[in-house]
């Protein structure tokens, strides 16, 4: 029997109602001066995105395929930062256990794997490892010992009694007699096509292609193997499935578990201290498997001093930034962060002062279960090592708290955020990125108000062009200012007269340009200073 190929849209694990909590966190964190630390501006999120758009081949809705959709691997949507190849996605030791019946996916537990030592069994090399099953990591329910081997195209898994759990020849493409969950059965093969861009039906399987081996008579009993990563990514005994959680957040938490990292977020800063938060996009080349990057933007956050508002202590902060994709800068903008003895508020989100350590657990909300994973990790950038608190959920967002500075941030999609520079109590670490200028394409350099009724736009243009500018109120989409003019080649400064602006309010800007051989548009926004 020839192996089948199933084309699936690669996406994170199925959402649960816990997402409501996560989205609330996100809204609270990002809506507060949305332009401050959001990783993708509304206006530019599609314009320069080099990753191919998501596509999915139409498929017949069968139970087998629905399950295949649920089991789509996370390694193309949740990337690991800081290493150079897709091998990094095999570092996670965290698994989710779930069931899927009657079109309903339900989490039933979590699992952590701990690699112990290499050992020889009948002259074959095996890795001894331990699994721990739990609903809450603080209360391990079950622990098991296994022995695993990937040898010459054969995958073998033994239990603690050295009895065979799985035995699969993953070099074979035809139907084979294999062992799945202790039973010798006729086994068929499916290739799972995880490419982002592709001609349909063009897959040429390699050792990087995930392979699903399933019982020919019962497709709900299977094992998914990724040969080059030497990983059993997903397995199902027909009643529940166990899936490895891929991605930088799960890798970070796994590393924190391994090293028992702990930290406190009781920061100690003085006026003038700051951090630089740098974002870049990352994806894997389908052919090489190597990571590719694109600089996106950075944000500089500075602590100016303390103030008292309505009897409450607040930190006065200032933020500015630069967008590599548009060539435009943001800010500086001031904002306040309320602080108490027990924590601080970032918008309406309260961040408590406490000791952070590993937390892995299922939580229930509105009658459904979702998972909450937290760990302490370390990043090293240009010799600068810093701690961060990582929080992960089934949704596509990733949440970070910095122990040394009051600026939590959020990642989503294939955008990663890292701290490239810090200045804490006058001590500088890392390398501070500076604004650069794009000179090989049209781009916005700056947008700012000079009065309550005037907005200046600085735009770099490659040719003489016809320009149309439109400024709108975000709240009601009302046009409050327009300008039609002509540009020169190089830096242009355009002044747009508007209706009265409101200080601190955000507005959208649309720029259309037309020339003999060059046309296009920009869209961005600004916050009025007047």
366, pLDDT greater than 80: no
Q: Which is higher by pLDDT, 230 or 48?
A: 230
d(CA 524, CA 471): 10
Give one DSSP letter per residue of 236-275, joined into a string.
EESS-EEEE--SHHHHHHHHHHHHT--EE------TT-EE
Could you report the per-residue pLDDT of 497-511, keeping only the tens digit for each? 999 999 988 899 999
pLDDT attached to residue 241: 94
Q: What is the pTM of this model?
A: 0.74
**Are residue 404 and residue 454 in the same domain, yes or no?**
no
291 pLDDT higher than 50: yes
What contacts 72, CB < 8 A, 6 or more positions away? 8, 9, 10, 11, 192, 194
Assess whether 396 and 487 both reside in one domain.
Answer: no
Structure tokens at 487: 């540009």
Among the residue ranges 145-149, 166-170, 515-519, the one predicted with the least confidence is 515-519
* CATH number, domain with residue 451: 2.60.40.2550
What is the span of the domain harbouring residue 404? Answer: 263-430
Does 168 share its domain with 27?
yes
| Total count of domains within the chain | 3
Of 403, 430, 457, the residue at which a domain comes to its end is: 430
Does 469 share its domain with 407? no
Q: What CA dihedral angle connects 362, 365, 366 and 370, to 10 degrees? A: -40
Residues 282 and 236 in one domain: no
Asked whether residue 293 carries a pLDDT value surpassing 80, the answer given is: yes
Q: What percent of the chain has pLDDT over 90?
A: 55
Statement: residue 15 has pLDDT above 50: no
- Single out the residue in 370, 396, 430 at which a domain terminates: 430
The model's pLDDT over 182-226, given as tens digits with 9 standing for 90+, comes to 999 999 999 988 776 667 677 788 888 899 999 999 999 999 999
- Cα–Cα dist 284/194, whole Å: 11
- The rounded distance, in Å, linking the Cα atoms of 375 and 390 is 5
316 preceded by a cis bond (ω within 30 of 0): no
> Quick one: average pLDDT of 59-85?
36
Question: Both 475 and 426 in a single domain?
Answer: no
């Amino acid at each position: 029997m020839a192996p089948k190929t199933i084309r699936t849209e690669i996406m994170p694990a199925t959402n649960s109602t816990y997402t409501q909590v996560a989205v609330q966190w996100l809204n609270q964190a990002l809506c507060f001066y949305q332009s401050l630390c959001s990783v993708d501006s509304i206006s530019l999120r599609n314009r320069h995105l080099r990753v191919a758009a998501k596509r999915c081949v139409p498929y017949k809705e069968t139970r087998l395929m629905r399950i295949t959709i649920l089991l789509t691997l996370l390694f193309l949507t949740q990337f690991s930062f800081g290493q150079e190849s897709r091998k990094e996605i095999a570092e996670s030791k965290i698994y989710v256990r779930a069931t899927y019946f009657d079109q309903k996916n339900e989490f039933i537990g979590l699992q952590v794997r701990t690699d112990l030592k290499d050992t020889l069994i009948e002259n074959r090399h095996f890795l001894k490892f331990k699994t721990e099953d739990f609903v809450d990591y603080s209360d391990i329910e079950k622990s098991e010992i296994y022995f695993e081997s990937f040898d010459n195209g054969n995958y073998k898994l033994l239990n603690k009694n050295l009895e065979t759990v799985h035995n699969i020849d993953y070099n074979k493409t035809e139907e084979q007699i294999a062992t799945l969950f202790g039973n010798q059965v006729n086994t068929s093969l499916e290739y799972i096509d995880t490419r982002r861009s592709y001609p349909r039906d063009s897959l040429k399987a390699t050792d990087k292609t995930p392979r699903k081996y399933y019982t020919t008579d019962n497709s709900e009993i299977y094992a998914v193997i990724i040969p080059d990563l030497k990983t059993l990514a997903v397995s199902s005994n027909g009643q529940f499935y166990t899936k490895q959680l891929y991605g930088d957040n799960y890798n970070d938490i796994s590393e924190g578990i391994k090293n028992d990292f702990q930290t406190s977020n009781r920061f100690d800063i003085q006026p003038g201290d700051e951090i630089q938060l740098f974002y870049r996009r990352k994806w894997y080349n389908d052919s090489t498997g190597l990571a590719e990057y694109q600089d996106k933007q950075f944000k500089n956050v500075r602590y100016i001093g303390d103030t008292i508002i309505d009897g409450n202590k607040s930190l006065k902060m200032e933020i500015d930034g630069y967008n590599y994709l548009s060539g435009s800068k943001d800010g500086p903008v001031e904002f306040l962060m309320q602080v108490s003895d027990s924590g601080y508020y970032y918008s309406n989100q309260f961040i408590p002062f406490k000791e952070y350590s590993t937390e892995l657990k299922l939580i229930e909300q509105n009658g459904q279960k979702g998972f909450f994973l937290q760990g302490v990790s370390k990043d090293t950038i240009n010799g600068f090592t810093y701690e961060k608190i990582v929080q992960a959920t089934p949704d596509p967002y990733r949440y970070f708290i910095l122990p040394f500075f009051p600026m939590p941030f959020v990642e989503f999609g294939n955008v990663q955020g890292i701290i490239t520079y810090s200045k804490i109590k006058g001590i500088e670490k890392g390398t501070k990125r500076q604004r650069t200028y794009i000179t090989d394409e049209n781009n916005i350099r700056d947008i700012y108000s000079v009065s309550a009724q005037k907005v200046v736009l600085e735009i770099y243009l490659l040719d003489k062009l016809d320009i149309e500018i439109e400024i709108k109120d975000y709240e009601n989409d009302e046009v409050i200012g327009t300008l039609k003019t002509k540009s020169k080649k190089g830096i242009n400064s355009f002044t747009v007269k508007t209706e009265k602006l409101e200080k601190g309010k955000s507005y959208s800007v649309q720029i259309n340009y037309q020339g003999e051989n060059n046309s296009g548009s920009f869209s961005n926004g600004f916050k009025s200073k007047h």
